Amino acid sequence: MHTPKVLLFLFYAILFPTFLFAVITPIPLEDRARSAEALLLGRVDHKVTYQLGGKRIYTLYILTIKGGSAPGAVPGKVGLIADGGILGNRMEVAYPNFSLREGEELALMAVPAPEGEHYRTADPAYAGLQQLRPYAGVQGVLRRNAAGRYYDMSGQALYSETALITALRQYAPREWATPKGNRYRPGSPMMTAPSRQVMAITDLTTPAGDPANGYIAGTVVADNELIITGSGFGATTGTVLFANADNGGGNQVFSTVASDYPVWTDTEIRLKIPDGAGTGTLFVRDAAENVVGSTTITILYSGIATYSNLNNSIPETRFHSRLANINGNGGYTLLYNTNLPNTSSDFFGNTAATAAFERALLNWQARGINFQVGDPASTAVAPQNRDQTNVISFSGTLPSGTLAITYSFFSGFLCGGSVARWYIEDFDIAFNDAINWNYGPSATSGGQTDFETVALHELGHAVGLGHVIDAGTAVMHHALSPNTDIRTLSFSEEEGGDFMLSAGTAPAECGSVGPMQSFSPPLPVRLSSFVLRKEGESKSLLAWSTATEQDNDFFTVERSGDGRNYHPIGQIDGAGTSQAAHYYSYLDHLPLAGWNYYRLLQTDYDGAREVISEGRLWFSGQLPEVFKAWRSGDGQLTVQFRGEAGAAPREVQLVALTGQVLQSWSWDAAPGLQQQTFSPGRLPRSTYLLRMIMDGQGAACQKLIW
């Protein structure tokens, strides 16, 4: 078996926006260079996957070194250890991590690997081989692209070989040499070929006339296969490259497995989108490795896939790893580590951390994912092992700059013929105990990292989802800005959770482990009905009723034009605690032209909130503008409104992004176009929401930058 997903750079871009990674914190190049024991340039020769103690799986990449800087002689070959890999019917995946292909070139900032992780063999080819780990984990590996430049994911920059060596020598002023002891001279960059535009992309999930809003990566569902139409692709199968979601598109991922390309002609390609693919530019490369087309693509979510040839009985084929009934109660039991392997790992004793973790867990449970905290919740079982025990812990041994790592362990069954089943056997999540965490539930500030957001992200990996590229709105995005809270799932992430649940609860083809059973958490509100419909071509009606309510403070209606970026447009008081039926409705007077995604949220008195229903409506054409507002040069607020005959008085509210109403003004309604000017006084420079209240409900909402 081999890892079919490979990586390639295509661009000359020099600088990217600065941000904080959701699973790592950037370590400056200076600190990495000073802390690394060896700075090396090399090429991947081959790899070996091995297992230690029948538990952890590792991959050893054998690198041929062309030059570097080390305390002694520069080695001719080294071994680079990465977590995870595929070995027989076992697979292990760790986030964050790196996966390299044969022939790939890279720059490495390395330290000696712990002896307990070493690959041990009697093969003389590996005798005396230095086995290394990258310093600062994934930040210690800089891949070389097709233009001869090295990509630094922490600094979001590309370096020529000369510029990189010059920068590194400032911080580690040792001479650079070849393994033969000669002075190392940087190589010359290569060039990339121009590209032509692809005509169209689609898949079989998109009904005729229904505009596609994105695609799914990493699945084996035929309807999710991408269909590319154009010309000049060639008659022989080439490759299709996608932005790498693990680093924001800094390089490309693509599949080399023939079965991932069921159709390849000169004018049409049909392929399974590889896991790890993200939103960005798609490139078509012909069999001669010439780029012959490109277009942009949106990836909504990505599942984690594995590949197997079923003991050489079939060609290498992709399989989807499913959730399962591991604990005998329908899913997985999560346990909080106490004091192993050291006292800094005590997660159980940190009540603020466990509360934030369980708030994050509620989001996935609401999708039916059967993850439940054990009773009792504590365990002394050591984390990060294949033992069917799902341990949540703090760790003082994660790579420098790493916020958290999820270790997922997979197993496979050969059912007979060409049928196999892969499932998630267990997972462990380790959080860095040295991070300045905000455990909430208050908003994150002061340069802290929001624990609940990172927990929600890591649980997504445990569910079986990979990264996406969707900055600021998707918690599965590979990056998170400082002081940012993303504590609910986006529409596409909810769909990803629903897909994993649907696959996981399907009947098992074989094996003694049964499928997952959907989890139904006790809800503070039990809906008896929910209706979403159009009222003509200018209004949306949401109507719902409840059978029971428990500590229900209020409902919030949110709307989005893309299914990812939601904004509140209305809030309606709940009934508190009641066993009687209650009926509610909300009328959106200003739907968007195109798709309108709605979701209904419920908030308890203690601040806990969850999405309880959702849907979407399509409005064609340009809708009439009934409400707009702007700031005038003298600091006044001007509001324009088109009134309807017989409408009730209006109220204009200035609302902080936290939902707090800062100011409000009354406005007597009248038919026709009206305009009013209000004086909000001295406001801090920020972004606000301006809400028009109509008939006792939030009729329209506009973002206002002050």
Residue by residue, DSSP assigns 371-394 as EEEEEEEEE---SSSSSS-EEEEE
Half-sphere exposure of 42 (CA within 13 A, CB side): 28
Domain check: are 614 and 636 in the same one? no
At residue 462, the pLDDT reads 96
Domain check: are 327 and 473 in the same one? yes
The whole-angstrom separation of Cα 591 and Cα 534 is 10
Domain check: are 96 and 218 in the same one? no
Which of these, 82, 26, 22, 81, lies nearest to 407 by C-alpha position? Answer: 82
Cβ–Cβ < 8 Å for 591, 540? yes
Instruction: Decide the pairing of beta strands 226-229 and 268-271.
Output: antiparallel
The last residue of a domain, from among 599, 619, 639: 619
Domain check: are 415 and 452 in the same one? yes
Rounded to the nearest 10 degrees, the angle between the axes of helix 351-365 and helix 451-463 is 50
The total domain count for the chain is 5
CATH number, residue 655: 2.60.40.1930
At residue 20, the pLDDT reads 36
For residue 105, being part of any structural domain is answered with: yes
What distances in angstroms separate CA 165 from CA 8, 75, 174, 257, one per listed residue? Answer: 21, 18, 11, 36
Domain check: are 599 and 699 in the same one? no
Which of these, 162, 137, 136, 160, lies nearest to 150 by C-alpha position? Answer: 160
The whole-angstrom separation of Cα 275 and Cα 494 is 18
The last residue of a domain, from among 152, 171, 190: 171
For residue 549, being part of any structural domain is answered with: yes
Provide the residue type at 154 as one letter: S
What distances in angstroms separate CA 348 from CA 294, 334, 345, 462, 498, one per listed residue? Answer: 50, 11, 9, 19, 30
Provide the 3-class DSSP secondary structure of residue 649: coil
Q: What angle (nearest 5°) sits at the alpha carbon of residue 219, between those of residues 333 and 297?
A: 120
* pTM (global) more than 0.85: no
Token pair for 126: 């590996």
Domain check: are 596 and 640 in the same one? no
Token pair for 41: 């340039």
Domain check: are 255 and 372 in the same one? no
Provide the residue type at 88 as one letter: G
Residue by residue, DSSP assigns 555-619 as EEEEEESSSS--EEEEEEEEEEEESS-EEEEEEESSPPSEEEEEEEEEEETTS-EEEEEEEEEEE
As a three-state string, the secondary structure of 74-117 is: CCCEEEEEEECEEECCEEEEEECCCCCCCCCEEEEEEEECCHHH
C-alpha 705: how far from chain center:
29
Domain check: are 463 and 337 in the same one? yes
CATH number, residue 367: 3.40.390.10
Domain check: are 45 and 165 in the same one? yes
Beta-carbon contacts of residue 121 (< 8 Å; ≥ 6 apart) = none
The whole-angstrom separation of Cα 494 and Cα 366 is 9
Token pair for 659: 């939902």
Cβ–Cβ < 8 Å for 172, 110? no
Domain check: are 663 and 602 in the same one? no
At residue 186, the pLDDT reads 83
Which of these, 254, 243, 250, 251, lies nearest to 289 by C-alpha position? Answer: 254
What distances in angstroms separate CA 677 from CA 627, 635, 666, 695, one per listed residue? Answer: 14, 10, 12, 21
Instruction: Decide the pairing of beta strands 20-21 and 5-8.
Output: unpaired
The whole-angstrom separation of Cα 174 and Cα 170 is 9
C-alpha 528: how far from chain center:
33
For residue 195, being part of any structural domain is answered with: no
The residue ranges of DSSP E strands in 9-166, in sequence order, are 20-21, 38-52, 56-69, 77-83, 85-87, 90-95, 105-112, 130-134, 141-144, 149-152, 157-160
Residues of the chain with pLDDT under 50: 1-22, 189-194, 208-211, 623-624, 697-698
For residue 490, being part of any structural domain is answered with: yes
Token pair for 538: 């200018």
Instruction: Classify 446 in phi/psi space as left (phi over 0), alpha (psi -120 to 50) or beta.
Output: left
Domain check: are 415 and 328 in the same one? yes
The last residue of a domain, from among 451, 473, 505: 505
Cβ–Cβ < 8 Å for 264, 300? no
For residue 182, being part of any structural domain is answered with: no
Which of these, 548, 8, 82, 497, lies nearest to 285 by C-alpha position? Answer: 8
Torsion angle in degrees (nearest 10) through CA of 573, 575, 581, 584: 0
Residue by residue, DSSP assigns 213-254 as --EEES---GGG-EEEE-S---SS--EEEEEETTTTSSSEEE
Domain check: are 636 and 610 in the same one? no
Which of these, 221, 93, 206, lies nearest to 503 by C-alpha position? Answer: 221
At residue 18, the pLDDT reads 30
Provide the 3-class DSSP secondary structure of residue 277: strand
Range of the domain at 242: 200-302
At residue 9, the pLDDT reads 28
CATH number, residue 602: 2.60.40.10
The whole-angstrom separation of Cα 111 and Cα 172 is 14
For residue 335, being part of any structural domain is answered with: yes
Provide the 3-class DSSP secondary structure of residue 443: coil
For residue 183, being part of any structural domain is answered with: no
Instruction: Give the H or E element holding residue 529.
Output: strand 525-535
